[in-house]
Every structure is written in C-alpha cells, then in structure tokens.
C-alpha cells in the first residue's frame, strides 16, 4: 500500500493527467490486444480439436460423431454456468449493455472481475459450439481493463471513461486487426464524441492492440479476405436492394433474439434453462452444422466460392451442388442464427451478437447475389455481396455504419468496395431507423432512461437522480400550530422556508421568514396567530412531483422566479425541496464528468 501511495504521489508531481492518459492508452491497448489474441487463439484451437474428433465422419456410418456434436453445446453451457457460479460467484454482467450502463450511471466504474470473467466464460461457451460471438465479451474485457487501470491511477472520471473506451477500441482492433474499426466502434456504439481529447488516446490504443495481434498471430487464426472482383457503378441498384433486405433481416434478428431470450427468462430454474437450451441448440447444430460456434469458418468458405461447406456433415449432404437447395439452406441459416444465438445466451452461455450479425450479414449478401443470378439478372459477385451484407446487417443491428464500413474495408485490405459498403449501410440505416432507434446494446437502456447519448444536456436531465438532490433539512410546522411554535422552529432552523404539513404529512403550503419577521418579536401574538394565517399556498408551478423528470424541474425553474421548489409525492406527502443552485451545480458536474472535450 505504501508503494502504491508513493507511485501515486510521484505521478501527481511529475506527470500531467493528459500525459498519463496517453501513456496508459498504450498499456490498455497492449493488454486488450493480448486478451484478444489469447481468446481467439484458444477458441480456434479448441474448435480445431473438436473438428478433428469428427473428421471424415458421415451421418450414416458414424453416429457417435453426431452424438458428440449434439451434446457439446450443452456441455459448454454447463461448464460456463459452473464457472460463473463457483469461480466468479456473482453476476457476470450483460456484456456491452453493462458497459454502457457503467458509463451512464456509475462513472465508468467496472468490477475488476470483468477483466477476466467474460474472457473465460465466453471461451467455454464458444469452444464447445455455443452459437455466439467473441467480440462483445472481449470488448467488455478491454473496457474493464481500461476502467480499472484508470481508477487504479486515480484519474478523473472523464479520463477513466476515455480509458474504458480505449480498452474497447483496442479489443476490436486486436480481434480483427482493424484499428479504425476499433475507434469507430467506440464512437458509434459507446456514443463517444470525436474531439481532440478523445482522438489521440483511442488511436494509440487501437494501433497498439492491432500491432500486438499482427505480431503474435500474423495472418492465422483470423477472418481475412482479399477482393478479386471489382465493383462497377452499374451494380449500385442491386446493392441498394441488398440494403433493404438487410434492414428486414436486422429487424427480424432483433425481434427474434428479444423473444427467445424473454422465453428463457420466464423459466425460473437456471438448470432447466440450461438443459432445454443446450438440447435445442444441439438439435440446431446437428441439422444445420454452420450454426455451430461463431460461424466464421463457413462464412470464409462462402467468400471463397465454396457453398458446399454448408452441407458438410449435414443430414442433407447429398443435396450439395443444387442451387435452389443451397438458397433454401442459406435462408434457413439467416432465420435460425438469431434463434441459436439467443438460445445460447438464454440457456446460460456467455457471448455476444457482434459475430452473429457479421455471419448473418454474409449469408444475406450471398443469398441475394445467388438468388439474382439464379433468376437471370445481371450476374453479381457473391463474395462482394456477402462482404457488403456483413456491413449492412451490422449497421442495422448496431447502428454503426462507419464502424461496419471500416471493418470490412480493413478485413479485405482495401477500399475497393467503399461505395457499395456506404450505400448499402446507408439504405439499411434509413430503413431500420423507424423501427429501431437504438443499437441492440443500447435499446433496453434507452427505454429505461439509462443511456448517455451525444446530447449531453438531455442525458444530464435524464440520468441525474432527482431524489439525490432533494434537500430535507427544513424544519416543518403543522397546521393549527401557533406563532409560538413557529418561533421555536425558527430557532432550530438555518433556512428561511418552513413547510406547513397536515397531521397526516400532506403538504399544505409554506411560510417565508421575511413575511413574519415583523411579528416574531411581538409576544402578545404568540398564541393568537396560527401558522395557517401566515402560510402561502403554492401553485402547481411551484410544486414538483416525485414522478416528474428533472427536465420538468428545469422548465419550472425557468418559468418561475423561485429559488426553491417543493417536492411532493403523488399522495401530496411532503418530501423536501429542490434548490435552483444545487440542481444546476449537479448538472455542471455531470457535463464535466461526461464531456469528451
């Protein structure tokens, strides 16, 4: 502890907060990049081991292989639940929504256990076939790393928030070796503002993490692809059609994951959820093997023009090569990937929807291109459509068009598809906006009023807790009390307002000290004058109800000339006062803590 204090004192004397922030951005980028490498490598080799277990098997001659594949997801979810229950010993959190909640409500503070718990739990889930992604858990891990390092060095809440963002940016950059996508992820998903203060630390963390990933993984254990067919301007209308289709797919994905997870949430017994979900997932991956795990292997094969991979090890492998059957399988996978993802999470697995949205987008793009080709329309590149579909569905699900565009551009090593990427993403975003105003991570928080947005003014009045600002150190008097009682109350009070309550605590009005100053020294009136005669009944504009928002309070301060407003509940019970000074001081503190400048 003495060493920690010494380090902290040395830092305060010799290193400015901005300098420390840049230095720690390197550290956070390094650690989040390492975490991404470890997670992807472990899951990759675990998946390879499982595939070797059933390598060369067929459905007809090797029933044991099917049995193993059927039970593996259940085993993974069981191990995940045991890990959470006996090792983490508490709630592991809800991934990126919990990070957004920490940013909005908890001064960007995340528990130290989040630096490793999601990492291990998601590894157990995905390595055994859970149909979820690793990106959200690793982004949550990176966020926790940044948050805890910032708080360990006692940085300001604003700097802690920025380091949290650096961790998330580094995690995404490390997974995909895509530093610009990592930065855009934080700006669009975490709703950071791009300012001179945020840009450099985010860039440093992302580049550091991507460099670590390149150094340790090279081009292996990674989703990559090189564009071989160039985009032609005449293809643009077809990409717009793809954008509309991806918007519909995104809405479906959001709705079906909501409903499936809600169904599991209604099953109170976690072991029942695990058993039902694990067995259902086993059925899905046996019937549709591409639903096993993240799904990137099948997507990569599609991009390389090998749709037969969708049939490998399946009950319908003899139908491989038939175009309309392939289209049917593609459409079924588009519909069922969301079900498989929500089932995995609802059953007790740990993972995210980032990867599934990429996979569904790739399947959607391939489906539209192949369908058009089969219908005799001008031939389109299935690989290019799959890549653009990935960006479009990510845009629809995560409301992050620039992140999606940069991610695909960096994955493919160039910007040859920049125009169709932006076009399809824009069309998807425009089409989905009337149905979904927020990303999959933010929609529930926004509905609860717990989301910090780019509009800091609106966020301040939404997120500040009005009850914490209520002052209740006012001395009350009761209806029927005499001036003598009021004088005693004045002696005990440091305030110049005295709320008048009925015998059952209903608020009746207020007495202002200035109005009674002239008579409080006239002892002859002590027993003849009552507080009811001195009381001012207040109008609705001077009252705040507990159900009002702070936006309502601010409007009442603006309209009236009052410095204090009385707070009552719905039954007219007195709760206290809100002062103009304290309310706006809290607002200024909130803006200072959350502003990115």
pLDDT digits 0-9 by tens, 223-235: 667 777 788 888 8
Is residue 171 a contact partner of residue 138, using CB atoms and an 8 Å limit?
Answer: yes
The reply to whether domains 2-217 and 233-453 share a CATH topology is yes
* Strands, sheet with 477-478, edge to edge from the N-terminal-most edge strand: 477-478, 497-501, 507-512
Q: Measured between alpha carbons, how far is 277 from 279 in angstroms, rounded to an integer? A: 6
Q: Can you read off the two tokens belonging to residue 32? A: 């989040």
φ/ψ of residue 294, rounded to 5 = -65, -40
CA 153, 144, 7 angle in degrees (round to 5)? 15
Indicate if the pLDDT at residue 62 is higher than 80.
no
Predicted confidence band at 191 (pLDDT cuts at 50, 70, 90)?
confident
- In tens, the pLDDT along 529-573 reads 888 888 888 777 788 888 787 778 888 888 877 788 888 888 888
Q: Positive or negative CA dihedral for 361, 366, 367, 372? A: positive
Q: What is the pLDDT of residue 461?
A: 61
Q: Is the dihedral of CA 26, 27, 28, 32 positive or negative?
A: positive
Range 2-217 classified under CATH 1.10.3080.10: yes
- According to the 3-state scheme, what is the secondary structure of 222-287? CCCCCCCCCCCHHHHHHHHHHHHHHHHHHHHHHHHHHHHHHHHHCCCCHHHHHHHHHHHHHHHHHH
What span, in angstroms and rounded, lies between the C-alpha atoms of 398 and 403? 9
Judged by DSSP in three states, 477 sits in: strand
Mean pLDDT score, 347-355: 92
Report whether 134 contacts 43 (CB < 8 A): yes
pTM of the predicted structure, to 2 decimals: 0.83
Least confident of 466-475, 506-515, 586-595: 586-595
Spatial distance between the Cα atoms of 421 and 411, rounded to a whole number of angstroms: 13
Hey, what CATH class is 460-594 in? alpha beta
- Structural tokens at position 316: 């319908």
Give the number of residues written for the chain: 597
Position 63 confidence tier, pLDDT thresholds 50, 70, 90: low
pLDDT of residue 594 exceeding 80, the answer is: no
> Once rounded to an integer, what is the mean pLDDT over residues 268-276?
93
The pLDDT value recorded for residue 60 is: 36
Task: Please report the pLDDT score of residue 93 as a whole number.
Answer: 67
pLDDT of residue 58: 40
The most confident of 205-219, 257-271, 524-538, by mean pLDDT: 257-271
pLDDT at 23: 92
Give the pLDDT band of residue 456 (cuts 50, 70, 90): low
Residue 56 has pLDDT above 90, yes or no: no
Which of 9-23, 316-330, 420-434, 499-513 comes out lowest in average pLDDT?
9-23
Judge whether 135 and 119 are in contact, CB under 8 Å. no
Mean pLDDT of 118-127: 90
Question: Scanning the structure block, which residue is given the tokens 């979904």?
Answer: 436
pLDDT number for residue 18: 83
Q: Which of 255, 445, 271, 433 is nearest to 353 (CA)?
A: 255
List pLDDT tens digits, range 387-432.
999 999 999 999 999 999 999 998 887 788 899 999 999 999 999 9
- The predicted pLDDT at position 298 comes to 87
Round to whole Å and give the CA distance between 350 and 561.
Answer: 53
CATH of domain 233-453: 1.10.3080.10
261: nearest Cα among 76, 69, 132: 132
Of 44-58, 78-92, 189-203, 253-267, the range with the lowest mean pLDDT is 44-58
pLDDT of residue 546: 80
Average pLDDT rounded to a whole number, residues 134-157:
92
Tokens matching residue 53? 């277990």
Band (357; pLDDT cuts 50, 70, 90)? very high
pLDDT digits (tens, 9 = 90+) for 331-345: 999 999 999 999 999
Residue 507: strand pairing partners? 501
Residue boundaries of the structural domains of the chain: 2-217, 233-453, 460-594
Q: What is the pLDDT of residues 300-313, one digit of tens each?
A: 888 888 888 888 87
pLDDT, mean of residues 185-189:
92
Q: Are 171 and 141 in contact (CB under 8 A)?
A: yes
Q: E strands, 330-463, where?
A: none
Sign (positive or negative) of CA dihedral 55, 58, 64, 70: positive
> Where residue 214 falls among pLDDT bands split at 50, 70, 90?
confident
């Amino acid at each position: 502890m003495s060493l920690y204090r010494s380090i902290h004192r040395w830092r305060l004397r010799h290193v400015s907060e901005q300098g420390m922030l840049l230095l720690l951005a390197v550290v956070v980028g390094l650690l989040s990049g390492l975490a991404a490498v470890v997670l992807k490598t472990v899951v990759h080799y675990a998946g390879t081991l499982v595939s070797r277990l059933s390598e060369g098997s067929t459905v007809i001659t090797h029933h044991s292989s099917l049995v193993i594949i059927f039970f593996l997801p259940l085993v993974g979810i069981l191990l995940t639940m045991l890990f959470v229950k006996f090792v983490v010993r508490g709630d592991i959190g809800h991934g990126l929504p919990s990070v957004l909640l920490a940013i909005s409500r908890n001064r960007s503070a995340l528990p130290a256990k989040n630096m490793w718990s999601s990492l291990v739990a998601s590894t157990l889930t995905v390595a055994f076939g859970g149909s979820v992604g690793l990106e959200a858990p690793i982004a949550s891990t990176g966020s926790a790393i940044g948050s805890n390092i910032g708080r360990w060095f006692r940085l300001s809440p604003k700097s802690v928030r920025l380091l949290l963002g650096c961790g998330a940016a580094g995690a995404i950059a490390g997974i995909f070796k895509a530093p610009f996508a990592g930065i855009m992820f934080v700006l669009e998903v975490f709703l950071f503002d791009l300012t001179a203060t945020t840009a450099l630390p985010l860039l440093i963390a992302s580049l550091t993490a991507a460099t670590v990933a390149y150094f340790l993984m090279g081009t292996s254990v990674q989703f990559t692809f090189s564009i071989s067919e160039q985009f032609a301007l005449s293809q643009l209308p077809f990409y717009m059609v793809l954008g509309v289709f991806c918007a519909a797919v995104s809405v479906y994905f959001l709705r079906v994951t909501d409903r499936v997870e809600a169904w599991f949430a209604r099953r109170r017994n976690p072991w029942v959820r695990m058993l039902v979900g694990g067995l259902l997932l086993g059925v899905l991956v046996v019937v549709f093997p591409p639903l096993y795990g993240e799904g990137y292997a099948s997507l990569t094969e599609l991009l390389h023009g090998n749709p037969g991979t969708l049939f490998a090890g399946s009950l319908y492998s003899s139908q491989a090569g038939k175009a309309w059957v392939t289209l049917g399988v593609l459409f079924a996978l588009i519909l069922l990937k969301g079900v498989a993802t929500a089932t995995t999470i609802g059953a007790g697995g740990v993972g995210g929807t980032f990867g599934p949205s990429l996979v569904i987008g790739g399947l959607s793009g391939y489906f539209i291109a192949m369908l058009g080709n089969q219908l005799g329309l001008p031939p389109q590149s299935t690989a290019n459509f799959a890549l653009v579909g990935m960006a479009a569905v990510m845009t629809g699900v995560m409301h992050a068009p620039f992140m999606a565009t940069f991610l695909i551009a960096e994955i493919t090593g160039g910007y040859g598809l920049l125009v169709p990427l932006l076009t399809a993403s824009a069309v998807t975003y425009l089409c989905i906006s009337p149905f979904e105003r927020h990303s999959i991570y933010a929609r529930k928080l926004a509905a609860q009023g717990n989301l910090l947005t780019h509009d800091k003014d609106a966020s301040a009045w939404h997120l500040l807790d009005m009850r914490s600002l209520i002052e209740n150190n006012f001395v009350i008097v009761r209806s029927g009390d005499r001036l003598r009682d009021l004088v005693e109350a004045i002696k005990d009070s440091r305030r110049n307002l005295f709320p008048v309550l009925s015998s059952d605590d209903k608020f009746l009005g207020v007495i202002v000290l200035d109005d009674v100053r002239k008579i409080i020294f006239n002892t002859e009136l002590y027993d003849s004058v009552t507080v009811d005669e001195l009381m001012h009944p207040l109008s609705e504009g001077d009252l705040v109800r507990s159900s009002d928002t702070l936006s309502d309070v601010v409007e009442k301060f603006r309209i009236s000339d009052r410095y204090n407003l009385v707070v009552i509940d719905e039954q007219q019970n007195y709760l206290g006062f809100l002062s103009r000074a304290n309310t706006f001081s809290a607002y200024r503190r909130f803006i200072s803590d959350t502003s990115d400048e």
